[in-house]
Amino acid sequence: MKFLVINGPNLNLLGLREPDIYGRQDFRALEDFIRESCRAEGIEVELFQSNHEGAIVDAIQGAYGRIDGIVINPAAYTHTSVAILDALKAVQLPAVEVHISDVSRRESFRQISYAGLACIKRYIGLGFEGYRQAILFLKDYLEGNENV
């Protein structure tokens, strides 16, 4: 089983500012956490981060036929990008949306998620743990377990 984990714009700056919202750990720590979460479950993983919408669309398209499931934190593109939504719909891979912060309790413009319309589940406000929950959910889903 192979997953693609996508992180969107500015998440590469984690730990530099707004620790009250995003925590104190940096992006490298997040990537280590994701790798370890997948390793513990026997899942192969590809990590992708970009600040560019089109590059994220390319990464989603490139997953087709190669990847079993996608975990995506589209960051600010969550709230704006129909292109990312369309790419997720086009590849028809199971995808899970993750946000480090609890977007439901933030500004009104963060209440809409386009990418989420193509996702089977979302985890918000759990910090890094949301990525692990997404990985576990996707694994159960792909294994056809009943409790998902």
Catalytically annotated residues: 22, 99
Of 120 and 126, nearer to ligand CA2 (C-beta) is 126
Binding mask 53-92 for ligand CA2 (x = CB under 6 A): --------------------x-xx-x--------------
134 Cβ partners below 8 Å, 6+ apart? 71, 96, 97, 98, 121, 123
CA distances from 52 to 11, 48, 92 (A): 12, 11, 22
Residue number, nearest CB to ligand CA2: 101
CB neighbours (10 Å) of residue 52?
11
Count H helices, E strands: the chain? 5, 5
The answer to whether 48 contacts ligand CA2 (rule: CB under 6 A) is no
**What is the spatial distance between Cα 28 and Cα 81, in angstroms, rounded to a whole number?**
26
**What does the block give as tokens for 29?**
């720590």
The answer to whether 110 contacts ligand CA2 (rule: CB under 6 A) is yes
Interface with ligand CA2: number of residues (CB under 6 A): 17
The answer to whether 29 contacts ligand CA2 (rule: CB under 6 A) is no
Residues in 6-25 that interact with ligand CA2 by CB under 6 A: 10-11, 13-14, 16-18, 22
Residues that bind ligand CA2 (CB under 6 A): 10-11, 13-14, 16-18, 22, 73, 75-76, 78, 99-101, 103, 110
